[in-house]
A and B are shown apart, each in its own frame.
Chain A
């Protein structure tokens, strides 16, 4: 054993660190590609729209696809292509920011609760459990009605709705990691809570937390469209993708593309987010 493991020092510092294994498989790449595509659309889309999204440009409502109106027109005769480009900014933007806020807050609080434990954990958990008991749409309704609808209010409301779930999930994972010997060793070394959370626990719950984030992103898209339907979300004439589906739902029986395309865009976004999350590099995924 000794003979094998005695090192030879010469040239050793030159050995490059092994950082292979962070590459995606092709399913993950497709997912990432679609997400990036919608991200670009959200940024540049409105500038490229052929018509102003709020303007009625066609006398025919629910018109089919044509050279003038690539994706047909909606129930008022507005250009669907322009409206979808505009909606990308709301759906992708609001959902992405809200899910990031919800998960960051939930995961950080969850890890702190798991590491500190005791009274802190108990009070925080019960408080967030109680908050979880409020139906999410009802909460959104009250919050937006009280403060008035604006993008920051929407983002914060959605983040608040999904934070307790994220907290529960992260806390459950962190409690398991917290009892493992390497955390005990770090604690016996005298490390403080910030180090324990950031270096010992977080890297080991990252995989499941990201999977949870993907799921929550989809839920947020759905709740956002629900709020828009109630008139509390994105305000007309603007609309997010969910609202585009809702406002054109009557076109379904007429076979209008106005209801099909927003549905497809929502599907491509949510499915690609989950394709991406499910196919993260194994190095990240297997750390749980």
Chain B
């Protein structure tokens, strides 16, 4: 090696103690090096140990975890051999950390500037005004609006994307040699994510700091990292330059990750109905909102005048950023949030607005599946009870017939029958989402409202769920209304896409040609903001600044 590496990790083993007191090894002998000024991405699904490794570079292990063996060298410091006090000394000045949730990392009751320059106070660096000048410089470099005064605001007075950039400023102020980014854009909207990524990139390019970027999103990594380390189960699967990993992966797991990224185009299933039948779902001038009613309208209006139809056997995607009203639309259709104006028609029959007035039969036709499988399953009930209830409730099936049908349902979602005796907490995230789906299928619905059902899952698991949805559609002639912020997911399963912005539908597009045919400026912005698996994508991306000013909540 010609030049001395900045970080070298040798044979790292990290262990953890589980709730039942058993000791498990979560990092099993990891070796890698980081050169000065280089950005290395740690990529893998949840539980692969990527955050654990990143934190260990600061000498930190989360509660219950401990570094068992191996050495971590950072510059001239041997992090593993240091006392906790000495480690505290290097944090902030040698190595620093940008957390996933900036909102949780800032103290809501202190001004931003005080928190950003706190590092200098902790390390007894004199000269507060010098530190503030440096902070303003960083704010400018991170493309924050009004860099001179933004430090005087409180965290709730800036947007999520701005706060994430401010937390990067907090990490960079001590001039560290290494910055650890822990999924810093995962919680952001795509249009916001671009600006944050750009800011990170330009700052890192100008300085000679090295970076570790932890994420599960290959497309994001392709924009920012020089090298990628692919992790699974606490072991390195593949290591290589970004170009090589993205374009010519060698390891089967990397290939699988990349394949999950490539949407398989969806083909509409043939419908047996004649053209004279009413559409499965028709929404007519629907308006809904939250809060107390004043003069027939709620104080917080979310949905405004929504109209669309969904034909039998077709899938409708609903895309938009957080706050666009996608989930509220699903809730209004399901009757959980009664709309104050407009109608929902299923098979040409208008449904009453509120749940209480709908008949069992009407409720049965449309089932809703939520994003977070953890909270959507009652932790006190075994799977059998969870799946059995809709059977008894809608169809009056009891006893052995019910058990037989529960096994059938589990089989439909490709889960073993023995799983029915378990409690939800004993299942993995993907299994829980399958159970969730099976419960909806138990009602034998014609329409399933899927509210971000793959968003909380790892790419590979999410791809398997999408496959399952397609298979179920072929077998049971279902229709899905598929809500997601992820355009590639929608592309993979839907025939048509509704683009929502601030509670209104701005455009309806065929899913397959969404990226080329988008007409409305917001749809265009949204489509162009989705990161592509191409290392030059961000550098080559040009967006109309006027559009951004109008629609992006940066």
- Would you give the 0/1 interface string for B424-451, flagging 1 where the beta carbon is closer than 8 Å to chain A? 0000001100000001000100000000
Do A203 and B381 touch across chains, with their CB atoms under 8 A apart?
yes
Check if A189 is an interface residue, CB within 8 A of chain B: yes
- Would you give the 0/1 interface string for A200-218, flagging 1 where the beta carbon is closer than 8 Å to chain B? 1001101000000000000
Say how far B428's CB is from chain A's closest CB, in angstroms.
10
Chain A residue nearest in CB terms to B461: A1
Number of A-B contacts (CB under 8 A): 84
The answer for the CA separation of A191 and B378 in the assembled complex, in Å, is 14
Chain A residue nearest in CB terms to B359: A190
Check if A126 is an interface residue, CB within 8 A of chain B: no
Q: Which of B334, B377, B414 contacts A5 (CB 8 A)?
A: B414
Do A190 and B380 touch across chains, with their CB atoms under 8 A apart?
no
Q: Which of B370, B422, B461 contacts A18 (CB 8 A)?
A: B422
Which B residues lie within 8 Å of A180 (CB)? 375-376
Say how far A208's CB is from chain B's closest CB, in angstroms.
13
Do B464 and A185 touch across chains, with their CB atoms under 8 A apart?
no
CB contact under 8 A between A181 and B370, given known A189-B363, A203-B380: yes
Which B residues lie within 8 Å of A13 (CB)? 403
CB contact under 8 A between A9 and B417, given known A18-B422, A185-B376, A199-B381: yes
Say how far B232's CB is from chain A's closest CB, in angstroms.
14
For the complex, would chain B's binding face be called helix, strand, loop or mixed by DSSP majority? Answer: helix
Which A residues lie within 8 Å of B422 (CB)? 18
Do B376 and A182 touch across chains, with their CB atoms under 8 A apart?
yes
Chain A residue nearest in CB terms to B376: A181
Range for the number of chain B residues in contact with chain A: 35 or more
Which A residues lie within 8 Å of B382 (CB)? 17
The answer for the CA separation of A13 and B402 in the assembled complex, in Å, is 13
Which A residues lie within 8 Å of B367 (CB)? 188
Check if A66 is an interface residue, CB within 8 A of chain B: no
The answer for the CA separation of A200 and B377 in the assembled complex, in Å, is 10
Check if B411 is an interface residue, CB within 8 A of chain A: yes
Do B381 and A184 touch across chains, with their CB atoms under 8 A apart?
no
Do B415 and A7 touch across chains, with their CB atoms under 8 A apart?
yes
Say how far B455's CB is from chain A's closest CB, in angstroms.
14
Check if A12 is an interface residue, CB within 8 A of chain B: yes
Interfacial residues of chain A within 221-242, with CB under 8 A of chain B in the complex: none
Check if B280 is an interface residue, CB within 8 A of chain A: no
The answer for the CA separation of A125 and B375 in the assembled complex, in Å, is 27
CB contact under 8 A between A190 and B415, given known A181-B375, A182-B376, A185-B368: no
Chain A residue nearest in CB terms to B385: A199
The answer for the CA separation of A181 and B363 in the assembled complex, in Å, is 17
Do A1 and B418 touch across chains, with their CB atoms under 8 A apart?
no
Do B334 and A188 touch across chains, with their CB atoms under 8 A apart?
yes
Range for the number of chain A residues in contact with chain B: 20 to 34
Interfacial residues of chain B within 192-228, with CB under 8 A of chain A in the complex: none
Which B residues lie within 8 Å of A18 (CB)? 421-422
The answer for the CA separation of A189 and B390 in the assembled complex, in Å, is 8
Interfacial residues of chain A within 1-59, with CB under 8 A of chain B in the complex: 1-2, 5-9, 12-13, 15, 17-18
Which B residues lie within 8 Å of A185 (CB)? 368, 370, 376, 439
Do A6 and B407 touch across chains, with their CB atoms under 8 A apart?
no
Say how far B351's CB is from chain A's closest CB, in angstroms.
12
Which A residues lie within 8 Å of B390 (CB)? 189
The answer for the CA separation of A185 and B431 in the assembled complex, in Å, is 18
Say how far B262's CB is from chain A's closest CB, in angstroms.
17
The answer for the CA separation of A17 and B355 in the assembled complex, in Å, is 35
Interfacial residues of chain A within 75-130, with CB under 8 A of chain B in the complex: none
Interfacial residues of chain B within 436-487, with CB under 8 A of chain A in the complex: 439, 443, 460-461, 464
Chain B residue nearest in CB terms to A202: B380
Interfacial residues of chain B within 360-393, with CB under 8 A of chain A in the complex: 360, 363, 367-368, 370, 372, 375-382, 389-390, 393
The answer for the CA separation of A203 and B423 in the assembled complex, in Å, is 13
Which A residues lie within 8 Å of B411 (CB)? 7
- Would you give the 0/1 interface string for B321-345, flagging 1 where the beta carbon is closer than 8 Å to chain A? 0000000000000111000000000
Do B443 and A187 touch across chains, with their CB atoms under 8 A apart?
no
Check if B68 is an interface residue, CB within 8 A of chain A: no
Which B residues lie within 8 Å of A184 (CB)? 336, 370
Which 4 A/B pairs are nearest by Cβ-Cβ distance? A203-B380, A7-B416, A181-B376, A181-B370
Knowing that A9-B417, A182-B376 touch, tell me 17 more A-B residue pairs with CB under 8 angstroms: A1-B414, A2-B464, A7-B407, A7-B411, A15-B418, A180-B375, A180-B376, A181-B372, A182-B378, A185-B439, A187-B355, A188-B334, A190-B360, A190-B393, A191-B393, A204-B380, A287-B379
A–B pairs, 5, beta carbons within 8 Å: A7-B407, A187-B355, A188-B368, A189-B394, A200-B378
Residue numbers of A with Cβ under 8 A of B are 1-2, 5-9, 12-13, 15, 17-18, 180-182, 184-191, 199-200, 203-204, 206, 287
